[in-house]
Structures are given as C-alpha cells and as structure tokens.
Structure 1
Amino acid sequence: MNHNTIIVEKMVNGGYGLARLTKGSIILLQNSLPGEKIYLGTIEKRKNTHFGEVEKILSPHPQRIDPPCPYYHRCGGCDLQHCSYEGQLDIKTQIIKEMFQGLSSSVSPPLPSPLQFGYRQRIRLQVDKGKIGFFKFRSSEIIPIKACLIAHPAINRILEILLERKEFQTLCRNSCQVELHFNPADETISLLLYYQRKPRPNDFATARELTARVDGLEGLFFKGDSFALVGLENDKGRILSQRIPANGYAAFTLSWEIGGFCQVNLLQNCNLIDYVQRVFLSSESHTVLDLFCGMGNFSIPLAQSAQSLVGVEGQGSSIRCAESNSKAAGLTNTCFIKGAIHDVCRRLLKEGRKFETTIVDPPRQGLPHLATDLASLSTRSIIYISCDPATLVRDIKDLLKHNFHLVSVQPVDMFPQTHHIETIAVLEKN
C-alpha cells in the first residue's frame, strides 16, 4: 500500500493514535500523539482493524520527547515514553472522558504517580533459546534487555548481576519466564522461575549456588504447570511485605506470598488506598463486602471503621495472607472466604446477606454477568476499582439498569509510561 500523509485525531484506549485513511477508514498508530502530522509507512489489516507504522513525524506534538529507554521502539512494554509525563496524564484524562461520555460529565484528572520511573515492584521476563527480555510489540519475538527503567532500581541491580552468572543461564535453559520481586520490607530480591519440568536435585544445587553468590538475592523459587511452587529446601514461599502509613486510619502492614498478587506500584498503592478510604461512607454499623479482596489491600483499612467485612478471593495464598494481615492489624470483625466470586455471591444471596458497601477490584475481564447479584447484595454503594476502562464502562452500564447511579470517576496513574489506566468508580443506589 502506498505511503500516506495523515493527521492523528486523538488517542484511544490501548495507547494508539487514531487517524483516518483517504477513504475514511480508521487506522491505529503506535508512537503517535494527537494533532501530529504523520508520514505513514507499512499498513497491516488484522481482522477489521488497520494498524499503521509511523515512518516519520512531520509535525510533532509540543509534549513529544525523546524516550529515555534504549529499548523503547522495540520492546512491547511501555508505549507512551515519547510523551512528557504531563502529556501522558492529559491523554489518559481525555481517554477516560470519552469512554464515559453519556455516563458521567465529571471525570477527575488522574492521581499522578509519585514516581514516573523505577516504580514497579516486580517484572516478568520471557526466556527462549538464550534470550531473556520482553516481547516485541504484537509479536512473540523476545527483545533482550539488561535493565527496565520502570522497574525498581534494586531489581535492575540484581538483574545485571544475574545476566552475567552461568548458574542463572543454566537455570534459564529450562525456564520459559522469570520474575524478579522486590521486597520493600528488607529491599531484597526474590527470583521466581517458571520451569518447563519439575526441578531436579541439580537444579536445586545450582539455585543454592546462585543465591549464595548474589548478594541481595534472598529467595529462589520454581513454579510450573505440572507442579506447585517450590523453593530451596522445599520452602513453600517467601513473605513480602509493605508498611502502609496512617492516613485517616491506623497504620498497618500488608504481606503477600511470592507469586501472589499485589499492586506493582507500591507508592501509588498507598494513594489508591487513601482515595478508597475517603469515598467509603463508613459508620460503626456499616457492613462491607470486598470481592476480589486479594491479601486485604482494601479490606484492612476499611474494616477499621466498619461493623464487619467479608472478603472473597479465589486464590488460596491471598486468603491466607488476608487472614494473617487482618490478625496482625488487630481486627476481629473480618471474615475471608475462598471461592469463585459468582458462586460465593449466589451463596450469600441464598443466606439472605446484605452489605451497605461492596468493594470490587476484579482482573481485566471485569464483572461479566454479576450486576444482578451485586445489586441485590449492595444496599447503599459500590466502589469499583478497575484496571481496564473498557470492561468498567460495560459493567457500569449493567449496574445502572439495577437502580444505581454513577457518583464519581477517578483515574489513578498506576502505570506511568504505559497506556494502562486504573480507575475508581463510585456508584450509589437511587
């Protein structure tokens, strides 16, 4: 297809610039910004969508900058480094406003991240045929890296050492992925290897030698499709923890097991907790349901000012940690249930349970087919924390059919340099 000169109309969810070809067809562009005049290179059609390659920027946006990461145009991770941070926040505001058009006329500006780089608590690298790195954009090709600018500096320090160690290279031969986890409690790193077979005595011996030789590497674990998480000397896991400072609630500690879920942006997570606490209409008689509660990220602070809280989570390690975190915080009004969210909600309804506030923090797929049950369980409000605005909008439309109205929409920039947007929506019953 011939080259075209086009103008980017706007940014859309997914980090793409949207433009139109001469025949009016929409085309999505990486590495572009609103209003830029683009000299278009290769065009590829996937299903019913055109994707274009920016060959040259003829008229750059005022907020365009040189990406600081040397892997930027090859790695498929960060996709907004070519824009200033102020510009990134503006883009995310406009995307959320457009997606919520007709649902809310008031979308607040995003809460900015305390750190723009070096904020990630963990990274997962792909491994294949000696290559260790991230996937290229929309590809299974691995781009080898030596450091990741959005990873915590301690992760990059250990990664640099690991890449030079023959023991690490030996272990990677049987790995498809490796994760490095930063523990904020002692600022050490744990390594999790996704192994393609059960580890053997030689693997454990190599792992012991590696941890002994790398200062700051405090744990090494194997996990695979055919076996459960296992560490050295059959260690079942390592506990990582973060102290959450007092801010309208008593300070507490969140602990989670290696491989368990936590928010990757630890400092911004404190702001996320604070905001949820502020919009939570608490009282001594308040009953709370926390769906997808994880290790108690919201359960612990909210339970401090509620009559009772029930947390539901499908992952056993998270439930164990939620119970432990609640006990460590001195709470006696919490109950945590392990089970599939839809199944537990139906069970609670059969028991005639009602909750004044429901907190939901689902994965990217959101809450399909759950609106009716949520509306029956929640008597007053729903606080919905979402990592995917598309599924959030879909679910809110369903909830609006069940006697709820949308009170506020607050984006939270958990993932600077990327298009990803965390959003908190508050709904109240009419």
Structure 2
Amino acid sequence: MKFYKPPGRSRQSASKPEKPQWVQIDGISHDLRGIARFEGKPLFVDNALPGEKVLAKVERSHGRFIEARAIEIETPSAQRHSARCQHFGRCGGCSLQYLKEQAQLEFKQQAVLEQLQRTAQVQPTQLEPPLASAPFGYRSRARLAVYYHRKQKQLRVGFRAARSKEVIHLKQCPVLAPELEALISPLQSLIDGMEGRDWISHLDLLLGDQGPAVVLRHIRPLSEEDLQQCLGFADTHLQQLFLQPGDRDSVHCIWQQDDNAQLEYRLSPFELRLNYEPLDFTQVNRQLNNAMVSQAMDWLSFEQGESVLDLFCGLGNFSLPAARAGARVTGIEGSADMVLRAEKNARSAGMIDARFDTLDLTQPGKLAAICREGIDKVILDPPRNGAVEIIRDVCQLQPVSILYISCNPATLARDAGHLRDQGYQLERLSVMDMFPQTGHIESMALFVQSGQ
C-alpha cells in the first residue's frame, strides 16, 4: 500500500535527505501520529497506525525527536480503510481519513486519558461515552485560500497542502456541509472570470440556518464589472455576500436575499437562535454543538436560581441555555463586540437572568470584583492555550463544580493538575468528535470539589 508524499520543505538538520526506512509502529501520539524508534529517538509518523510496518520518509529532524510520513505500508492495520476524498494525502485539511470513524474516537479518547495521566496523574472517576458526529458533511464554515499563478494563468481555490503553503485546488470537500461543498466549483468559475482574480486572497464559506453566505477577502479594490459579477453570483447561490478589503472591521455586506437575511444558528433543544457576524467564532459542527451543550446542561444539572459564571462565553452558546434552565448567568468574554452580540441574543430570547461583561481573562485577579455575591458553578470554554491564568481566581470563588470544555488535550491536562492542587477532582470526562477525519480533539471534563 503506497501513499502520495505531499510537497513541502524539509527542515532536517542533515545536509541531505534521509533514505526512507522500514519501521514498526508501536504506539500512537497525543496528536494521533504513529510512534516508532529511529536512531535512538522517537519517530512520529503521519499516516501510520499501531501494529503497522511502514516505510517512513523523514520530513523534519529535531533535537529530541524526528517527524516522518508513511509512504508505503507492508502490514496495514484492520482499523485502516480507504479515504473518501480524492485530495487526501495532498490537502492538509483532513489527515485521518485513512482511519475508521469508530477507531478515530477510540484513539482520541486514549490520547486524552494518556495526556491526563502523564502530565497530571489525573483520571476521571467516570468515563462517559464519546459524543459522536456524522463523519462527513458536518462543517458549517471553512476558510479557503485563493491563489492565481500569473505565468501559468492557473487559479487554485482550496486548503493548503500539509506542511506547505501550496494551495490544493479542490474539486470536492466531503467534510463540508453539502450546501457549502456545492459552492466550490461555482466560486472557482466566478473568481477565474474576474479581472481582479489575483487580488482575492481568501474565501470564508458560512452556512447559517437561512442559507449559505460568503466573505470574499480582497487586497485591492474590485472593479465595477467584478462587483457586478459577484452580485450576480450571490443572487443565484447565496443568502448573503460580504466583502473584506482590509482588517476584520472592514467586513461589510454588499448583497442579501431579503431585508431579514442574517447569520444565525439554532440550539434546538433549548429553542434558541443565536445571531453572529461573519468572522465571529462559532462551532463548525452544528449537530455536535447541540449535543455538547445538551450534555453540559445535563452534567451541571442546574437548580432554579443557581449562580453560574460562563468564562470565554462568546455569543452565549452555553450562557443562554443555562439561563433557560433557570440559572442566573454571568458571561465573561474578552471581546467587547462578542459581548454586545451575546447581550443582543439574550434580549432576543427574553433572557432577564443573563448578563455579560468584557474582561481580559488572561489577567488574573479580576474575577472577584465581578462575582461579589458568590458563584455556584463555572463553565470554562477557553482557547487552545487553556485557562491556567485564571484557575486560581476561579477556585477562590469556591464553585461546587467546574465544567471545562477543551480543544487541546495538553492544556486540559496541565489545567487539570492545577485544579487538583486547588481541591477539585475530575469526576466525569467525555471526548467529543467535533472534527471527524482530523486530529483535533475536543473533550468535556467536569471537576467537583473534593469530598462532594
């Protein structure tokens, strides 16, 4: 079994490339790469699974470990299957398509448990079943790169190759929602026919509940003829079309299907609709987001009037369901714009027990002033670098429980150790398949005061 080796610059320390070597894969890393030994160092191998013997091509050599890619497999694992997408192996978007979906979840769960044990010597009292997702057609948003090769007069629209700046020209993308995948070819035709085709740098594809929208990022002003082509495309294919000629604040809508067109998504179990702006952070997997929020509300099991602190609250993805469940919620977010939108979403839903504040959560020592009346429960949904800066402040509020939503097993494990040291134990853990076919790992962890 052979694989295409994607182009990319080697960062090896050696003066010439290493000859590919046959190695036995003995384990799997926290980022779901196969692990072997080579020249006395750990060898992390893309496209390799435990139990396989692979021909590994070294791509990067570091001081304490080596990175490689399997270019041929002698003994394929029973957990391996054929990738669905024709671009697999070149496109850097979905690196796990070779692994059966159930095995992806099992390996992700194993990676989280091993990281918790190795970093913090922490294990959950109760390991809950993973939250599974549809394996394909789940992405409600994506950013595609656009590149026009002037000499070859060739346009490429797609994701970048693995470990490379090369743009892979997409003909399909099965992980996209069907409404967004259907836009790929028409968008390529639109841009290829524009005078300013080489001024377009990115496309953001968005799927709201009312239909698809596109943000077109351009580095120079578009001609009137190009604008008219864009408007004609939008009239046929979109609910909304946005242009972004500069930074985030430059995004503006130039076309919408009707006066009520807006970007929104539903939290169906809670009869909520959340509005958002094109570049706001939202979860890409709507099905899994509904399941995640439902599980969070179930684990926290609010009593009427309990006080809840939702940190990194964003648009109110957890805050508003918690308020719907009868809690008094304070949502904290670093972005003032996101706070304004969370407040608007709360007003639209008639939520009088949800308030929001802007606060830089990387700066310790400020939560106590906001939570003078005490807090019963906390929801933590931090970015990839975790929440280490505010864990001590959170624990000083002495909540009964802390629900931690993680998108990075390494920072979850680190923070779990700090929570343990502050008197909290890991009671429940569940891995969530927010990004099938990729190595991204999301998980939900419930910490409770020791002795509760």
Check whether TM > 0.5.
yes
- Aligned partner of 2:82 in structure 1 is 66
- Aligned partner of 2:161 in structure 1 is 136
The structure-2 alpha-carbon separation of the partners of 1:172 and 1:429, relative to structure 1 and needing over 3 Å to count, comes to: farther
Q: Which residue among 146, 150, 162 is the counterpart of 1:127?
A: 146
Q: Cα RMSD over matched residues? A: 2.5
Deviation at 1:92, TM superposition (A): 1.1
Q: Where do residues 244-255 of structure 1 align in structure 2 (5 Å cutoff)?
A: 244-246=267-269, 250-255=270-275
1:93 aligns to 2:118 (yes or no): no
Distance across 1 between alignment mates of 2:254 and 2:203:
16
**Aligned-residue identity in percent:** 29
- Aligned partner of 2:284 in structure 1 is 264
Secondary structure in 1 matching 2:83: coil
Q: Where do residues 306-385 of structure 1 align in structure 2 (5 Å cutoff)?
A: 306-343=326-363, 346=366, 348-349=368-369, 352-385=372-405
Deviation at 1:182, TM superposition (A): 0.9
Cα deviation per residue 1:176-212 (whole Å; 9 max; x = unaligned)?
21111112x22x2111122324667666444323323
**Letter in structure 2 aligned against 1:232:** I
- Aligned partner of 2:250 in structure 1 is 228
Q: Which residue among 410, 429, 446 is the counterpart of 1:390?
A: 410
Number of residue-to-residue matches in the alignment: 421
Distance across 2 between alignment mates of 1:302 and 1:362:
18
1:12 aligns to 2:22 (yes or no): no
CA contact (8 A) 1:284 1:307 kept: yes
Deviation at 1:131, TM superposition (A): 2.1
CA contact (8 A) 2:91 2:160 kept: yes
Give the alignment's TM-score, normalised by structure 2.
0.86
Distance across 1 between alignment mates of 2:108 and 2:405:
16
1:159 aligns to 2:184 (yes or no): yes
Deviation at 1:342, TM superposition (A): 3.8
Q: Gapped runs of 5+ residues in structure 2?
A: 1-17, 149-154
1:118 aligns to 2:137 (yes or no): yes
Distance across 1 between alignment mates of 2:200 and 2:80:
38
Deviates more, 1:346-355 or 1:197-206: 197-206
Deviation at 1:309, TM superposition (A): 0.6
Deviates more, 1:98-107 or 1:146-155: 98-107
Cα deviation per residue 1:294-341 (whole Å; 9 max; x = unaligned)?
111111111123441111122344323322222232211110113322
CA contact (8 A) 2:302 2:327 kept: no
- Aligned partner of 2:57 in structure 1 is 41
Q: Comparing both structures, which one devotes a greater share of its residues to strand?
A: 1
Give the 4+ runs in structure 1 shifted more than 6 A.
none
Deviation at 1:404, TM superposition (A): 1.5
Distance across 2 between alignment mates of 1:76 and 1:425:
29
CA contact (8 A) 1:28 1:51 kept: yes
- Aligned partner of 1:190 in structure 2 is 213
Distance across 2 between alignment mates of 1:307 and 1:39:
56
Distance across 2 between alignment mates of 1:321 and 1:46:
45
Distance across 1 between alignment mates of 2:323 and 2:164:
44
- Aligned partner of 1:207 in structure 2 is 230
**Letter in structure 1 aligned against 2:92:** G
Secondary structure in 1 matching 2:34: strand
The structure-2 alpha-carbon separation of the partners of 1:351 and 1:289, relative to structure 1 and needing over 3 Å to count, comes to: closer
Q: Which residue among 441, 444, 452 is the counterpart of 1:424?
A: 444
The structure-2 alpha-carbon separation of the partners of 1:336 and 1:55, relative to structure 1 and needing over 3 Å to count, comes to: same
Distance across 2 between alignment mates of 1:405 and 1:356:
16
Give the alignment's TM-score, normalised by structure 1.
0.91
CA contact (8 A) 2:334 2:359 kept: yes
Cα deviation per residue 1:116-164 (whole Å; 9 max; x = unaligned)?
1000001111122232111111111111112211000111112221112
**Letter in structure 2 aligned against 1:161:** P
CA contact (8 A) 1:126 1:132 kept: yes
**Letter in structure 1 aligned against 2:240:** G
CA contact (8 A) 1:204 1:232 kept: no
CA contact (8 A) 1:89 1:109 kept: no
Deviation at 1:35, TM superposition (A): 1.0
Deviates more, 1:166-175 or 1:309-318: 166-175
